[in-house]
Structure 1
Amino acid sequence: MIQAYENKTAKRISKPDLSVLIPYYNDDPSALLAALHTQYDHTHNVEILLYDDGTQDEDINTKLRQIADTVDQPTRLFFATTNTGRSAARNYLMGEARAPWVLFLDADMRPLHPDFLTRYLSEIKSGHSDIIFGGFRVADTADTPATELHRALSLQSDCLDAATREQSGPQYVCTSNLCVRKSVLDAEPFDITFKGWGWEDSEWAARAVTKYRLKHLENAALHMGLENTETLLARFRDSADNYVQFTKKHPDLAQSLTLFTLSQRLKKIPGQKTMRPILAFLVRNPLGVIPMKLRVFALKMWRASWYAGAL
C-alpha cells in the first residue's frame, strides 16, 4: 500500500521540465529537500518527488509534509508500507514523474553548487545527452572516526572529476546523482532482480550506454551519509551475489575491471577465505595504529575475497 501527498503547487503544475526523484529508507531526506527548495525560482519548472520505501517514520514524514507546504515548488510525497528495494523504489518514482527528464538523488546527498539544478537544465536544453552523471564529493573531514574509512575509500575510488569519469564511460555512473531522459528509463528500467546493496546501478549504466548518449557533467553532489566500518564490511560481503549477476550480464565490462582480475586470482588460491579474519582486523583497526592506506587496501581485498568465493 502506498499513500500519496502533494502540496498545492503540485496540483496546479502538470508538465514540469525536470522531476527530481528521491527514494529513501531509514534516512531523513528533509535537509536535501530544504536545500533543493532554496535553489528553486519560478524560471525552474522542476518538481520534487520523494518515496519512503517502507521506513514509516511518522516524525520524518510529517516534517517532509511541513516543508512541502511552505514552498511554491511542486512537491509530491509517497509513503510505502513495505520495503521493496532500491530498484523498485526508483522505478515507482519514475512512473510517477511528470517531466521528460528525471534526476535521481540519494537521500543523503546535498547539492554542492548554488546553480546545481540550473547546470542540469542547461545540459538538458543543449540536447547533446540522454544520460547525465554529475559525480559526487565527500566532506573535508568525516563526522566521526567510524566513517573516516568510507571517506578515504571514496576519495581514492569515487570522487573523480568529469574529465576522468568521461574516460571510463559507464564505470563510474551511479544513481546517487543521475539525470536521465525518461524515455531511456521506459526502455531500460532498473533490474529489480538485484537484491540489497550494490551493482544494480552499474548494471543499468552498462546496459543503457550501449544505446544512449552518456555525458559526465561537472555538477557534484556532496555525499553526507558516510557509513561506518561495520556497515562497509557487511555491504561488501553481502553484495557478492549481485556482483556475480553483474559479471554474467556484462562479462566484457566486468573482465576489464581490476576487481574482476583480483577476484579471479584469489579464487585460484586454496583456502583464500581463511585470510578474511586478518583482513577484517586490518579494516577495523582496533588498536588505532594501522595506516589508512592499508585499511583501504584490506577492505578492497575483503570485498575481492567474498566475490572470489561467489564467482
Structure 2
Amino acid sequence: MTAAAISISDRSCLSVLIPFYRDDPAPLVRALDAQVRETNASVEIVLCDDGSADPGLTRALEALQSEIATPLILVTKPVNEGRAAARNALARAANGSWVLFLDADMTLPAGFVANWLTEIGAGDFHAAFGGFEAEPPESREGRVHAAIAAASDIGAASDRGRRGATAFCTSNLLVRADVMPDVPFDEAFKGWGWEDVDWAVRAAQAGRLKHVDNPAGHRGWQSVEQLLARYRDAAANYALLLRKHPELAALPGAKAARTLRAVPGQGALRSVWQGLARNEGLPLRLRALALKLWRASWAAEVIGP
C-alpha cells in the first residue's frame, strides 16, 4: 500500500473517507471542497483506491490534489481487498478527530458539510448515520435497485431510529475517530454486504449511536444482473452476521430465509424468481419482490435453523 499526501500542519476536525474501485470520485471531491471552503473548517479528504489498477485515474486524482484547497490524501492498494478492508485503511490514514464515510458516487445537497460540523459541535454521540436520498436512475437498468432502496433503505431519522443499529449504512456515516481502533470493520466479511450492520451493532455496544437527517444523494444503482450476483454471493456474509449476532435472527430477512428452508425445490424456485426479476415487462414492485425472494433463498442455504 502506498500513500501520497499534502502536508497537514495540524490535526483536522473532520476526515472525509471515500473508498472506490474503478469509479472516479473526482466529482464528489470537488463538491466537498466547495462546501468545505464555505465553512472555513479544518477538513481533509482521504481516498482509497481498492485495487482499480488504473494508472490514468491515479494520475488524475494526484493532479486533483493541487487543484483543490482542501487537503487530499490518496491511498492506493495494489489489489482489491473489499469494502471492510478499504474502510479500515481509510480510518488508519485519517488525521481528523471525526471521520465521515461516503461512497464515491454520492452527491451532496447544499449545507451538507456544514450540517455535519454542527453535529460534531454537539458532541453527544459516538457515531451517526445521516441517511441518503434516491436520485433517479440514469438508465433503465437501475430502476429495480432504486425501487428496492426506496422501499427499504430510505427514510427519515425518526423512521430509521426505530430500527436502531440495523438501519445504519456506511454511506454517510460519521464516527468519532477514537472509536475506529476499538471497533474496526470485520475483514472476515468478504465482497459485498452486511459488514456495515455488523459494525453498527458492535459500535452500539461500545458507545452511543444516533440517526440524523442530513442525507446525501445516492445514485450508484446496480442492474438486475449485478444484484442477482451480489445477493447470491452475500449469503455467506449474512450467515456470518447471524453467527456473530444471534439476536438478529428475529429480523424479517432471517425469518424469511428460515421459512424458505422448509420449502422443497429451492433451485427451481430461484429460476422462477430470477426470470421474474429479469422480466422488464413486469411492474417494478413485482421484480423487486422476486429479487428479495432470490436473496432470502440463497440465505436459506447457509444459515442455521
**TM-score bracket for this pair, using the shorter chain length:** over 0.9
| 1:243-302 deviation digits (Å, cap 9, x = unpaired) | 0000011111x22211111100000112223201110000001xx321111111111000
- Residues 1:173 and 2:175 aligned together: no
| 1:29-66 deviation digits (Å, cap 9, x = unpaired) | 11111111111226211000001111021222222122
Q: Secondary structure at the match of 2:227?
A: helix
- 8 Å Cα contact 2:30/2:68 also seen in 1: no
More displaced 10-residue stretch of structure 1: 258-267 or 118-127 = 118-127
User: TM-score scaled to structure 2, two decimals?
Assistant: 0.96
- Residues 1:61 and 2:58 aligned together: yes
User: TM-score scaled to structure 1, two decimals?
Assistant: 0.94
Once the two structures are superposed, the pairs formed by residues 1-311 of structure 1 within 5 Å of their partners are: 2-7=1-6, 11-41=7-37, 43-111=40-108, 113-139=109-135, 141-252=136-247, 254-285=248-279, 288-311=280-303
| 1:79-129 deviation digits (Å, cap 9, x = unpaired) | 121222211111111111111110011111111x21111111111111211
AA partner of residue 280 (structure 1): Q
| 1:141-170 deviation digits (Å, cap 9, x = unpaired) | 321111100111110111111110011111
More displaced 10-residue stretch of structure 1: 56-65 or 168-177 = 56-65
- 8 Å Cα contact 1:123/1:129 also seen in 2: no
AA partner of residue 19 (structure 1): S
Q: Secondary structure at the match of 2:15?
A: strand
Structure 1 CA distance, aligned partners of 2:142 and 2:69? 36
Q: Secondary structure at the match of 1:270?
A: coil
Runs of 4 or more above 6 Å deviation: none
Structure 1 alignment gaps of length 5 or more: none
Q: Secondary structure at the match of 1:259?
A: helix
Structure 2 CA distance, aligned partners of 1:17 and 1:120? 11
CA RMSD of aligned residues (A): 1.2
- Sequence identity (%): 41
Structure 2 CA distance, aligned partners of 1:13 and 1:56? 31
Structure 1 CA distance, aligned partners of 2:59 and 2:134? 29
Structure 1 CA distance, aligned partners of 2:203 and 2:5? 31
For residue 14 of structure 1, report the CA deviation from its aligned partner.
2.7
- 8 Å Cα contact 1:13/1:74 also seen in 2: no
What count of residue pairs does the alignment treat as equivalent?
Answer: 302
AA partner of residue 26 (structure 1): R
AA partner of residue 248 (structure 1): R
- 8 Å Cα contact 1:191/1:200 also seen in 2: yes
